[in-house]
A and B are shown apart, each in its own frame.
Chain A
Amino acid sequence: MPIPLNVLDTRREAREERGPAVPPTEDVREKVFELEAKGEWLVQRVPDPWIGVTTKYGRIKKIPIARTWHHKSCGQCGHIPGYSTAIFWLIRKLGLDYNDPKDQTSCTAWNYYASATSNQGAQAAVAMRNFGAAYESGYFPMIHCGTSYGHYKEVREELVHSAPLRDEVRRICDKLGKPFVMPEEIVHYSEWIYAMRDEFAKRRVLDLSSIDVTVHPACHYHKLVVEDAIYDPDVYGGQRTAVVSSVVTALGANVKDYSTWFDCCGFGFRHILVQRDFTRSFATLRKIDVMREEANPDVVLTHDTGCVTTLDQSQFAARAHKPNVGIPVMSEAQFAALAMGAHPYRVCQLHWHSTEYRPLLEKMGIDWRERWREFEDDLERLKKDDKAYLTWEDADA
């Protein structure tokens, strides 16, 4: 059964009566600036203009609008390329400046959480190398992957509280010739999407009022360094992160509740690669089945690499014994792009997804047959070497 919202209303009333509370956690960003004042590192400022959003305990977080350095996700770029492409497309659609770097490695945290074949120093050095590269470019880091975002926030906490770790990593950055820089904020792309949702809504070209959505909040977004995630009292009474859900509402679609929203997707880091019986079982039994039973959505939207992969890919094998599966899965970036008229194949690259998505496109008013024919024509031109690559101009042709 869905969580009764009157409970949340009661909590909200109690909170309003009580007045603003002192956040139970320190504001690590203050420590970041203190360390800068002591000459320990540089702090890369969020570039103007930025938008202030509210985090879990009422603090304001700055989200840069433009001049962003895109810390890409290996899982998104590798296996769900329409995810990354849709993020870039949204930025371009708003005419904003960005940097898609080659001087970037993965955060390597997927491997760390899966195999532990790394350590605190190495993980912090990888983070600071990437932050140094962003600083050198003059653009501000925006993290595409939920795990990279959560892990980098852990790394920030560890560096702030450990002088020996700072010394170790500073020495490494010196050897690499990279500046030792901590960004003023650690920003996930879904926070930018949240901050810009009204801009997307203005540019929406599809009527989504008949589209029901269930949202899976990504664990490493809201369970690691929890105080830094975005919350809004108007979204589930401030009891769940507001990213994704607010975007769905702004775009005119319907957020549907389900009881296992807090559960992880079943990704497991190690499990998704070498022990997928667990991943499949959890994804279908605790997430997809429950969503179908309680909300019967047209689509599942989430905001992280592993969640899209797990929830989407796990449904195929489950079809053998579970007729209840079959809900398409994508990121809110892809969904927002579709709503704004992005091509489902040239931009959102839905042919890389597993679970049947075409009925959803039809319900959204997208002629997927015609769009696929266009994409097949693109592929023919590429095959004939008429052109080397599909370009951004082709994507919007």
Chain B
Amino acid sequence: MVLQARYADVPIEEKQRLFDQVKADERFESYLYGCYECGICVAACPSARFYDFSPRKIAQAASREDLPMFYEQLNDDIWNCSQCFSCTRCPRGNNPGGLITIMREVSINNGLTSAKNALEGYGRVVYKIMSTGTQVSPDMLQPNAFPDWGPHVQEISDNLALWRRALPPDTMHTTSTAWEVDDKTLTELYLIWHMTGVLDMIKQVDTGLHMILNDVMEELLEEAGFTPE
């Protein structure tokens, strides 16, 4: 079959190993109940309108344990998903978007090249959320980052500090974070990243970012008397 000819060079054992990791996730069972092939999920899916992407095929491959198709999806499809969960309209109660969340995690944990490619240019966002506790900051509004949003981005960028001072809530005068986050709060967040293995996940896809994050976190954690495990 033409579709399954892709990645034919990857041993079936490797495909099985990765599929087993997906299936071992405790959410897997509650995300998949079989598939009628009715296509309601595809009709509701935004990504299906603009990409060669089908949530129905995700549910199908997972329920049939179709390893060649699963592996192809793991590399070529999952990053197209919008994670809007419109597909939860499924009459069987399937959650193809949830399956994709698990597949993405497995993809990151195994440092797949497709995951690294999909996240190219995304490192600054991971850095922001993991190091500051807020993902979106006012100073991300730069015209070179959002040229398609129009000239008002330049205006915001030019007036950023002043416009932030013109906000009545006390917590929102910041420019490098969305709001003011206490140092103690950040310390706690860093501990969470360490204790749950998230930093190890980052290492799989971006060693440079991992090193920078470790450095940033180390100082605050040591000041607070914690030694990362």
Q: How far is the CB of A31 from chain B (nearest CB, A)?
A: 14
Q: How far is the CA of A297 from the CA of B138 in the complex (A)?
A: 30
Contact in complex: B148, A274 (CB < 8 Å): no
Q: Which of A46-54, A118-126, A365-373 interfaces with chain B?
A: A118-126
Q: How far is the CA of A72 from the CA of B169 in the complex (A)?
A: 11
Q: How far is the CA of A352 from the CA of B119 in the complex (A)?
A: 28
- When distances are taken between beta carbons in the complex, the residues of chain B under 8 Å from A101 are 171
* Given A74-B135, A81-B172, A113-B101, residue A266 in contact with residue B201 (CB < 8 A): no
Q: Which of B10-18, B64-72, B159-167 interfaces with chain A?
A: B159-167
Contact in complex: A129, B50 (CB < 8 Å): no
B32 located at the interface, meaning its Cβ lies under 8 Å from any Cβ of chain A in the complex: no
Contact in complex: A74, B49 (CB < 8 Å): no
Q: How far is the CA of A117 from the CA of B112 in the complex (A)?
A: 13
- When distances are taken between beta carbons in the complex, the residues of chain B under 8 Å from A89 are 168
Contact in complex: A263, B46 (CB < 8 Å): yes
Contact in complex: A270, B118 (CB < 8 Å): yes
B61 located at the interface, meaning its Cβ lies under 8 Å from any Cβ of chain A in the complex: no
Name the contact of A346 in the complex, choosing from B164, B168, B186 (C-beta under 8 A).
B168
Contact in complex: B148, A119 (CB < 8 Å): no
Name the contact of B136 in the complex, choosing from A74, A133, A172, A276 (C-beta under 8 A).
A74
B108 located at the interface, meaning its Cβ lies under 8 Å from any Cβ of chain A in the complex: yes
- When distances are taken between beta carbons in the complex, the residues of chain A under 8 Å from B165 are 382, 388-390
Most chain A CB neighbours (cut-off 10 Å) among B50, B51, B168: B168
A176 located at the interface, meaning its Cβ lies under 8 Å from any Cβ of chain B in the complex: yes
* Contact flags B126-149 to A (C-beta < 8 A → 1, else 0): 100110011111101100001011
Q: Which of A6-14, A55-63, A102-110, A183-191 interfaces with chain B?
A: A102-110
- When distances are taken between beta carbons in the complex, the residues of chain B under 8 Å from A262 are 44, 86, 89
Contact in complex: B125, A111 (CB < 8 Å): yes
- When distances are taken between beta carbons in the complex, the residues of chain B under 8 Å from A106 are 129, 133-135, 178
Q: How far is the CB of A280 from chain B (nearest CB, A)?
A: 7
Name the contact of B122 in the complex, choosing from A114, A223, A278, A383 (C-beta under 8 A).
A114
B192 located at the interface, meaning its Cβ lies under 8 Å from any Cβ of chain A in the complex: yes
Q: How far is the CA of A172 from the CA of B196 in the complex (A)?
A: 9
- When distances are taken between beta carbons in the complex, the residues of chain A under 8 Å from B85 are 150, 219-220, 223-224
- When distances are taken between beta carbons in the complex, the residues of chain A under 8 Å from B129 are 74, 106, 108, 110-111
A269 located at the interface, meaning its Cβ lies under 8 Å from any Cβ of chain B in the complex: yes
- When distances are taken between beta carbons in the complex, the residues of chain B under 8 Å from A389 are 165-168, 170, 173
Which chain A residue has the least Cβ–Cβ distance from B173?
A: A389
Contact in complex: A273, B168 (CB < 8 Å): no
Q: How far is the CB of A289 from chain B (nearest CB, A)?
A: 13
* Given A105-B181, A106-B178, A313-B149, residue A223 in contact with residue B46 (CB < 8 A): no
- When distances are taken between beta carbons in the complex, the residues of chain B under 8 Å from A150 are 85
Interface size class of B (residues with CB under 8 A): 35 or more
B92 located at the interface, meaning its Cβ lies under 8 Å from any Cβ of chain A in the complex: no
Contact in complex: B88, A226 (CB < 8 Å): yes
B182 located at the interface, meaning its Cβ lies under 8 Å from any Cβ of chain A in the complex: yes
Q: How far is the CB of A392 from chain B (nearest CB, A)?
A: 5
* Contact flags A307-323 to B (C-beta < 8 A → 1, else 0): 00000010011000000
Q: How far is the CA of A378 from the CA of B167 in the complex (A)?
A: 11
A250 located at the interface, meaning its Cβ lies under 8 Å from any Cβ of chain B in the complex: no
Q: Give how many A-B residue pairs fall within 8 Å (CB-CB).
A: 258
Contact in complex: B170, A115 (CB < 8 Å): no
- When distances are taken between beta carbons in the complex, the residues of chain B under 8 Å from A395 are 168
Contact in complex: A354, B150 (CB < 8 Å): yes
Interface residues of A in 310-358 (CB under 8 A from B): 313, 316-317, 346-347, 349, 351-354
Which chain B residue has the least Cβ–Cβ distance from A315?
A: B150
- When distances are taken between beta carbons in the complex, the residues of chain B under 8 Å from A168 are 196
A286 located at the interface, meaning its Cβ lies under 8 Å from any Cβ of chain B in the complex: yes
Name the contact of B126 in the complex, choosing from A76, A117, A263 (C-beta under 8 A).
A117
Contact in complex: B195, A77 (CB < 8 Å): no
- When distances are taken between beta carbons in the complex, the residues of chain B under 8 Å from A18 are none
A252 located at the interface, meaning its Cβ lies under 8 Å from any Cβ of chain B in the complex: no
Interface residues of B in 62-85 (CB under 8 A from A): 79, 82-85
- When distances are taken between beta carbons in the complex, the residues of chain A under 8 Å from B101 are 112-113, 116
Contact in complex: A129, B188 (CB < 8 Å): yes
* Given A84-B172, A88-B169, A346-B168, residue A224 in contact with residue B88 (CB < 8 A): yes
B218 located at the interface, meaning its Cβ lies under 8 Å from any Cβ of chain A in the complex: no
Interface residues of A in 130-178 (CB under 8 A from B): 133, 150, 158, 161-162, 164-165, 168, 171-172, 175-176, 178
- When distances are taken between beta carbons in the complex, the residues of chain A under 8 Å from B152 are 351, 353-354
Contact in complex: B168, A88 (CB < 8 Å): yes
Contact in complex: B168, A223 (CB < 8 Å): no
Q: How far is the CA of A33 from the CA of B47 in the complex (A)?
A: 39
- When distances are taken between beta carbons in the complex, the residues of chain A under 8 Å from B84 are 219-220, 223, 264, 267-268
CB pairs A–B below 8 angstroms (29 shown): A78-B177, A79-B141, A81-B164, A85-B172, A100-B171, A102-B180, A104-B181, A105-B185, A106-B135, A111-B125, A113-B83, A115-B122, A115-B125, A122-B196, A158-B26, A175-B195, A219-B85, A268-B47, A268-B84, A269-B82, A273-B122, A286-B49, A346-B166, A353-B152, A388-B165, A389-B165, A389-B173, A394-B168, A395-B168
- Shortest 10 CB-CB distances between A and B: which pairs? A116-B104, A316-B150, A105-B133, A78-B136, A264-B84, A122-B196, A78-B178, A77-B178, A113-B83, A219-B84
